[in-house]
Structure 1
């Protein structure tokens, strides 16, 4: 009987750029992914379109799937001869229960690999401006679970060893036990004025920090209603934060943005916003299915207009599949956008924007099935794929909204407006409730008109419809929900 293979992958602490190359390659090849609450759901977008996604999210007070069920599911999917990825937040070997899952696979002689990830206990402090070790402040570092299998959930630790022998201590998921932690560290030798910082959602744009001392941090946490997921860091090295904090100084730090999505490919706009410190949730997620392409008459046209960057790749793939030599096609190439022109340039073709296309000459428009809806007054069409909203991501989107505190909505084009509202409806999300406290940004006058037609009257536009102008608007005008 054939069996598949399981990759036990560390997703890193949240920022998707922190996943390892090997971990990302495993996701790209996966047929099944079992993912945790603390693994950034944006990583799932790198999976193949037909990949089965299974949520195993755990909260301190409840489990979607218990560990035994997860173990059984890993075995069952592998025995179906599937390539399975178990995606865990942080590093799977640091309180990730990877040993239990690996042992279950070994019992069935199922091949597996463990792919390490960046641990939150190190990454979250660095994003808060704190190295966990430093020659002057901290020559030792410990990671400690703050919630274990003891009867009352209080960690059974060697408190004297921690308090007297370790300079920097990172407690994982310990907000509920914070009073117990502080009391025991003071009782066993730590000074009451030892610095403490809590880092919630470390490395995400929604990262929050709360600083105090062992003596007063419990009261501060209660007043701020601070909650998990959070790393509790204890040690004198925290004093470096004021000087070397960097992430929270990014221009878009604190912006939690929903970006209306129109294409299947990763958005460069989303990437730029993230690099500037924002949290970005793209919605809806699209997927494409190929359709048979008839290229018999393609050589008869004088102009070919590509409707999207994706249509360029689909057209050239169809040429290869149908054994059609590109040299037999004599048409001038045009693109509907700058990104489409770039896709053509990368294949060695000098193309022009659609606005520069002459009126004369036979025209062929190439793209997904949306070109049938938006077909111009003249020209023939060649559909290379069908684009549909991926409903598998609806529950993922709803969970992302629950975890975040979205304050900004960006519509990059007029074509993004109607599909976004339709997808909200399919998610059973009330649009009026969703938008009532959001700063809505439209990229251009046509987009603004489409948004107003949809019923939103208080949208705003950047000075120009560019990434730089959008970032300047978002960075220069802090938005506070009423």
Structure 2
């Protein structure tokens, strides 16, 4: 089997701007070799059994030698593997791709280049700065600030707009060279740190003032834009999206947060995903397997979550069955999303309670519950007991089986923790009581290791948004308050509530 190496540009630090070709290649990768500036969300796109190797290089930090990277690519390619070499930005702009390509050619390895959106182009755009303008900028140049002494500053000082990568450490030297070659001290300059990511920061000043503005601030990684177009900032960006300028922290299971994140971004929000749940198989399949073998004996199947649907049908398939095994059973689901997951398996629920909450399921059940035999695949521990109790009060026989279990991640997402500490979060969303509990636990772990921090001060200026009454109750109990509660207990309803509150 012949292997191949794909040198893929990841673009800026935002999954939204990855090319379709790049996304497809990641889904096929046997080996992923990635850079330091690649967003870790990209790692979720590779197959579960893909080997992931971080070979990132950052100035002043321990780095993987280039020869080692070359050998990794060659060795895995010669083993017949599909190797994706994921590089930040575009593979051929100020990177080491040429060295890797030469090594691959010498070793007889097949390779392909896949372009990415360079941060030199994307970061200014995402900060609302046009690089060209018919009056102010008829040309721009992209340069590296790594070794300013090697550049022709007499020529560069005459270019309308300069875009500088890797220039924050030599910013003073760059400015001095421009001033010495005739650039005005009042020339506008923008520094865009973490362009396109939830942690994006922008500093606007002039060649005369910018050094004082950013004194003592760690700027890397950043793009520097110098030219009169900086004054046009935000002329090209929309301001009518309701959540523009707001940063929303999402606390859900890692595999469930992406769709919600996209929905919020479509309303203008910047999102940070903080997994507060780990969804895993149950500790034992025995009860669920037994129930599946006896499906013919049940009148109803109740599914109250997308996780319940996913694990139930995965187990059904594992046991050699499919949706036809449910032909004689009626299905009740709680929530639109659960219904949508069920429809992915070719089935339409027979009953969805109003308000999309479990409490209304018993009250509005379409049949007399007495003598009904109900199968209820659910979370192994920590689920709400009231539904089962109310069903049993009405005379139903309820068989509860563990379909999955949920737990708290061991550590908080570093990006989320940094954003909370830096007061960069405006809204925190909670889609279940467990996310509230686990969020509190994760924060408490960090606070206990830093005596200068406390929960109240960290969250005092943050809006807490809940998906429904039970989640709100847990917020009040654990966090002391809730600011927003969805009227319709869905993700769409939660977004509507946030927009109305804003």
Matches for 1:192-271 after TM superposition, within 5 Å: 192-222=185-215, 225=217, 227-246=219-238, 250-262=241-253, 264-271=255-262
Residue pairs, 1:10-409, within 5 angstroms? 10-79=9-78, 81-148=80-147, 154-164=148-158, 166-222=159-215, 225=217, 227-246=219-238, 250-262=241-253, 264-275=255-266, 276-284=268-276, 286=278, 288=280, 293=289, 295-316=292-313, 319=316, 322-324=320-322, 326=324, 329-346=327-344, 347-351=346-350, 352-353=352-353, 354=358, 355=361, 356-357=364-365, 358=367, 359-360=369-370, 361-367=372-378, 369=380, 376-377=388-389, 379-383=398-402, 394=411, 397-398=413-414, 401-402=417-418, 405=422, 406-407=424-425, 408-409=427-428
Tell me, in whole angstroms, the C-alpha distance in 1 between the residues paired with 2:418 and 2:309. Answer: 37
1:49-102 superposed Cα distances (whole Å, 9 cap, x missing partner) = 343333334433213434333333334444554433222222121112222223
Task: Answer whether contact 2:11 2:17 (CA < 8 A) is retained.
Answer: yes
Per the alignment, do residues 402 and 156 of structure 1 end up closer, same or farther by CA in structure 2, a change over 3 Å counting?
Answer: farther
Q: SS of the residue aligned with 1:59? A: coil
Q: Which residue of structure 2 aligns with residue 151 of structure 1?
A: none
User: CA separation in 2, counterparts of 1:64 and 1:429?
Assistant: 32
C-alpha change, 1:364 and 1:428, in structure 2 (3 Å) is: farther
Query: Gapped runs of 5+ residues in structure 2?
Result: 390-396
Q: For 1:168 and 1:458, locate their aligned partners in 2 and report how far apart those are by CA, in whole Å.
A: 49
- Report how far residue 303 of structure 1 moved: 0.7
TM-superposed CA distance for 1:373, in Å, is 8.9
**Which range moved further: 233-242 or 309-318?**
309-318
Counterparts of 1:51 and 1:289 in 2: how far apart (Å)? 21
- Scaled by the length of structure 1, the TM-score of the pair is 0.82
Is contact 1:15–1:204 with CA below 8 Å preserved after alignment? yes
C-alpha contact (below 8 Å) 1:38/1:89 kept by paired residues: yes
2: distance between equivalents of 1:415 and 1:431? 25
SS in 1 for 2:163: strand
Change (3 A) 1:305 1:92: same
Counterpart Cα distance in 1 of 2:295 and 2:432: 30
- Paired residue secondary structure (1:7): strand
- 1:264: Cα distance to partner? 2.9
* 2:458 paired residue number: 437
Q: Is the radius of gyration larger for structure 1 or structure 2?
A: 2
Gapped regions of structure 1 (runs ≥ 5):
149-153
* 2:105 partner SS: helix
Alignment counterpart, residue 462 of structure 1, candidates 472, 485, 493: 485
Q: CA deviation at 1:389?
A: 6.7
The aligned residue for residue 393 of structure 2 is none
* Contact persistence 1:364–1:380 (CA under 8 A): yes
How many residue pairs get aligned? The number is 465
Aligned alpha-carbon RMSD (Å): 3.6
Q: Per the alignment, in what secondary structure is the counterpart of residue 91 of structure 2?
A: coil
Give yes or no for contact 1:30–1:51 (8 Å, CA) kept in 2. yes
Q: Distance in 2 between matches of 1:4 and 1:421?
A: 47
Residues 431, 206 of structure 1: alpha-carbon distance in 2 compared, 3 angstrom cutoff: same
Q: Equivalent residue of 2:272, what SS?
A: strand
Tell me, yes or no, if the aligned pair for 2:484 and 2:498 is still in contact at 8 Å. Answer: no
Worse overlay, 123-132 or 30-39:
30-39
Q: Report the 3-state secondary structure (helix = DSSP H, G, I; strand = E; otherwise coil) of the residue aligned with 2:340.
A: helix
Contact 1:186-1:192 at 8 Å conserved across structures:
yes
Residues 264-305 of structure 1 show CA distances to partners (whole Å, capped at 9, x for unaligned) of 334433222333222312314646559695632113211111
Question: Which whole-Å CA distance do the structure 1 matches of 2:32 and 2:205 have between them?
Answer: 39
SS at match of 2:47: coil
